[in-house]
Structure 1
Amino acid sequence: MKPVTAVIIGAGSRGSGYALFQWDFPDRFKVVGVADPKNIRVKRIQKRYNIPDENTFSDWSEFIKRDKFADAVIIATPDILHKAPAVACADKGYHILLEKPMAVTEEDCHQIAQACERNNIMLAVCHVLRYHPPFTKVKELIESGVIGDVVNIQHTEPIGYWHFAHSYVRGNWRQEESSTFSLLAKSCHDLDLLRYWMGKHRLALLEFESEITLSVHRSSFGSLQHFRKENKPVGAGSRCLDCSVEANCPYSAKKIYLDKDEEKYSRWPIKVISEIHDIENITKALEDKQYGRCVYECDNDVCDNQVVNFAFEGGRTASFTMVAFTETLFERQTKVYGTRGEITSLGTGPVHVYDFITNKTTRHDTAAPPSGTHLDGHGGADYFLMDAFVRAVSTNDASHISTGPQDALASHLLVFAAEKARRENRIITINEDYTYQ
């Protein structure tokens, strides 16, 4: 078969990352165009994939005026700019790999799903964890009945203390107005997983409350707990490079971004600080741009910790915890409790099942991406996502995609309902069609 051809819309960290699939599998995938307002990004992608000048664009609106010249698009624009290019590309006939979240409003999510369905477009929303072998193994084990009926799932996302400071205090996802709330920006992956694992058991209730209380009768989680002006250490400066107490701060920009290993300047997260990846330009950026600011003097307003509780039909329950203050990142921690045993996954490596009958633990190994692949993000899940999308487009078989329009839409609506419940400090009832009251 001919390789699937694609245009990258948004050539930042995620867009350029997915494009790396061509490096590993040039016979299966080929980048033939790029659109991004930053010329340096366009030129970098153009050079890397030998793209002709006529297929480079400073804006996706210029690209969409052209006759269709590729099979698919990869949309990795900022979150608030997903809807317009997604709908336009669907109407033009392009299959779509769309970075999560789909969009930042319910209406925009609906419009994207509708556009893909009316045009018979394959849409893969980048809920990469659905494609991650440890989590697909959890799903497989649940459906096998090895732990009996599922009673409860506990799932935690440890964001990582420096990762949260980078992305959600100093970075592009720090403000709801310019991006979205942290549960949608960071953890729509995880609420999607809970739906995925519970399978046929329809969501009955979602409870999420926000006011801090000592009452034993209510849960109350979700706040910007730490990264606030009143928590700034005595004597701290406004920027890390000029701070007298920086050495004792775990969130120091010097610690996170400056390194003796020059190679690290072209890797995430350091590479997002400056378009030119060397110590001189990184240091300059820390002197006068957002990533050098004190974390206690930023304009951030998104939650740094959050818990969501679910009740499913038949009394089954689930809980999700998102927390910034952790050593590890990307290593989700999951426990599935059943009537005959329990499943444990640390998000990487094997999955373990404890059997109540034998009192023994069985290890279940999981697949790994091909050795040496450049798509190693999210523990290799980025590779499995791209593999599934390319396979679906090349064979014209959408069954390879597990995060299509309606499935992804339902998960996003669940996240919006959770945030509504948090803001209004009440229990939200989810209807069968994922509307809520």
Structure 2
Amino acid sequence: MSGSQFTNVADSPGRLLTMAVAGGGARGFAYADTAVRLPEPVRVVAVAEPRTIARERFADRFDVPADNVFKDWRDLAAAPRLADMVVVSLLDHQHMEAVLAFAERGYHILLEKPMATTEEDCVKIQEAVEAAGVHAAVCHVLRYTPYTVALQKLLADGAIGEIVSIEHLEPIGHSHFAHSFVRGNWRRADESSPLLLQKSCHDIDWLMSLIGRPVQRVSSFGSLKHFNAANRPEGAADRCVDCSIEPDCAFSAARVYRRGVAAPDSFDGYNALVMAGRLTTEAVEDALAHGPYGRCVYASDNDVVDHQVVQMEFDGGATVSFTLTAFAEGANRKTRVFGTRGQITGDGRNLELFDFLSERTTVIDSHAGMGHTAADGHGGGDRALMEAFVRGLREGTAGDIPSGLKESLASHRVVFAAERARAQGTVIELPTDM
């Protein structure tokens, strides 16, 4: 295919859109699977993924031509343009270089969060996309869920008057945190990114979208309190499979990943597949004995915080308190929005609206009557994001997508400021014209 075939999607109504994926792991696979299931499906035609098992699984699932299967994303970017759009779901520190390469090649880009690991690289991404004249959006899927749509409508309708403050909780969950941020790819800030950026840049983005005004000041506190050598129990071994006290440890890798083999469709099954590559007893036992996911959580090389709070003051005076923590059951986010006329309490699906005048509470199921449910990726956010971006490409309106680069850069700047505030123990003032 020559690049000229992809010049403007909106100029070719009815043509089947095509997608390449740089990073065929969990998120890349999920976005591709979502795209091929749309009412007007997108055809997945290329993939780049360094891990053999993940690459073969992806290519088989989406019937990718052998010539379009690459080990390295750079080889995909160097080839003649193969698709209308590319999903960039690589490791965090690879985002900037990849976006610059694909933008120059003329791909429209869906970029997994975070945009990049530094503010400077985020700016480079925006500048490169604008210079190339392509469309790009960040996968801030929280903006697109039916839950968010319902909440935004209540706020726009004035159901609680003017927002005064918001209290928001991201309960990461002990098991998920141990998997991803103690043993997994995001355990070290120097190899990936800080916890707030990797896990919750879209929480900050989401909160900013609710207030609808710029952040003026931010402070933050947090540390690596528990998952370190100082808290290692007496007698604990370096690996769970060798540990005499493993049966009494809440963070046992052996228990969690073996349970995943027995329940392949569960969250434990998903994590076991990630850690072992194959969901078999033999593969999991080998990974427990030799791989990073079999390490004791008190004997890993992790350095990201395991709990953090962020306080934000917005232009106009509204305040937000955000908490993310490993020490939770691992449930949906919890949010309370306090307004001048009422209060909204939400759990990711249901919204409870309390009206000050009537003193009545109304419960709204945000998924009632929807064609997809919370069982879909990120509560329907994956699908809604993909629908919005693909529709925008077809109609020539992709530049108006809610999680465009301008909006995403603004919220990322707040995240970087919060990290500076945490490290320096200070309050960071932000210009309101960013």
Q: Could you state the TM-score of these two structures normalised by the residue count of structure 1?
A: 0.91
User: Residue in 2 aligned with 1:361?
Assistant: 361
Question: Could you tell me how far apart the structure 2 residues matched to 1:104 and 1:383 are?
Answer: 26
Q: Does 1:278 align with 2:280?
A: yes
| Helix, strand or coil at the partner of 1:318 | strand
Cα deviation 1:245-279 (Å, max 9, x = unaligned):
11111110022111262634894211111222211
| Percent pairwise identity | 43
CA contact (8 A) 2:135 2:399 kept: no
User: Residue in 2 aligned with 1:318?
Assistant: 320
| Helix, strand or coil at the partner of 1:426 | coil
Once the two structures are overlaid, the 10-residue window that deviates more, 413-422 or 59-68, is 59-68
CA contact (8 A) 1:72 1:96 kept: yes
Question: Could you tell me how far apart the structure 1 residues matched to 2:380 and 2:339 are?
Answer: 28
Q: CA deviation at 1:231?
A: 0.6
Q: Does 1:207 align with 2:228?
A: no
| Helix, strand or coil at the partner of 2:264 | helix
Question: Could you tell me how far apart the structure 1 residues matched to 2:317 and 2:410 are?
Answer: 21
Query: Would the alpha carbon gap of residues 371 and 96 (structure 1) be closer, same or farther in structure 2, given more than 3 Å must change?
Result: same
CA contact (8 A) 2:46 2:64 kept: yes
Q: CA deviation at 1:240?
A: 0.6
Question: Could you tell me how far apart the structure 2 residues matched to 1:204 and 1:400 are?
Answer: 25
Q: CA deviation at 1:144?
A: 1.5
Question: Which consecutive aligned stretches of 4+ in structure 1 deviate over 6 angstroms post-superposition?
Answer: none
| Helix, strand or coil at the partner of 1:20 | helix
User: Residue in 1 aligned with 2:143?
Assistant: 130
Report the RMSD for the aligned CA atoms in angstroms: 1.9
| Helix, strand or coil at the partner of 2:296 | coil
User: Residue in 1 aligned with 2:352?
Assistant: 352
Cα deviation 1:185-217 (Å, max 9, x = unaligned):
111011111110010x33221123xxxxxxxxx
User: Residue in 2 aligned with 1:268?
Assistant: 270
User: What number of residue pairs does the alignment pair up?
Assistant: 418
Q: Could you state the TM-score of these two structures normalised by the residue count of structure 2?
A: 0.92
Question: Could you tell me how far apart the structure 2 residues matched to 1:399 and 1:289 are?
Answer: 43
Structure 2 letter corresponding to 1:239: R
Q: Does 1:105 align with 2:106?
A: no
CA contact (8 A) 1:116 1:122 kept: yes
Question: Could you tell me how far apart the structure 2 residues matched to 1:281 and 1:370 are?
Answer: 37
| Helix, strand or coil at the partner of 1:82 | helix
Question: Could you tell me how far apart the structure 2 residues matched to 1:362 and 1:370 are?
Answer: 23
Structure 2 letter corresponding to 1:276: R
Q: CA deviation at 1:75?
A: 0.6
User: Residue in 1 aligned with 2:11?
Assistant: none
Question: Could you tell me how far apart the structure 2 residues matched to 1:50 and 1:400 are?
Answer: 32
Structure 2 alignment gaps of length 5 or more: 1-13
Alignment of 1:350-429 (within 5 A): 350-367=350-367, 370-371=371-372, 376-398=376-398, 401-429=401-429
Counterpart among 289, 292, 296 of residue 290 in structure 1: 292
Q: Does 1:327 align with 2:329?
A: yes
User: Residue in 1 aligned with 2:7?
Assistant: none
Question: Could you tell me how far apart the structure 2 residues matched to 1:78 and 1:243 are?
Answer: 32
CA contact (8 A) 1:70 1:94 kept: yes
Q: CA deviation at 1:372?
A: 8.7
Q: CA deviation at 1:350?
A: 2.2
Structure 1 letter corresponding to 2:328: T
Once the two structures are overlaid, the 10-residue window that deviates more, 332-341 or 359-368, is 359-368
Alignment of 1:214-233 (within 5 A): 221-233=221-233
Structure 1 letter corresponding to 2:26: S
CA contact (8 A) 1:224 1:305 kept: yes
Once the two structures are overlaid, the 10-residue window that deviates more, 54-63 or 152-161, is 54-63
User: Residue in 2 aligned with 1:187?
Assistant: 200
User: Residue in 2 aligned with 1:65?
Assistant: 78
Alignment of 1:140-155 (within 5 A): 140-155=153-168
Once the two structures are overlaid, the 10-residue window that deviates more, 60-69 or 243-252, is 60-69
Query: Would the alpha carbon gap of residues 195 and 125 (structure 1) be closer, same or farther in structure 2, given more than 3 Å must change?
Result: same
CA contact (8 A) 2:227 2:297 kept: yes
Q: Does 1:91 align with 2:116?
A: no
Q: CA deviation at 1:67?
A: 2.0
Cα deviation 1:231-253 (Å, max 9, x = unaligned):
11122111111111111111100
Question: Could you tell me how far apart the structure 2 residues matched to 1:400 and 1:431 are?
Answer: 24
Cα deviation 1:292-328 (Å, max 9, x = unaligned):
1000001111110000111112321111001111112
Q: Does 1:252 align with 2:252?
A: yes
Structure 2 letter corresponding to 1:312: F
CA contact (8 A) 1:206 1:309 kept: yes
Alignment of 1:40-59 (within 5 A): 40-59=53-72
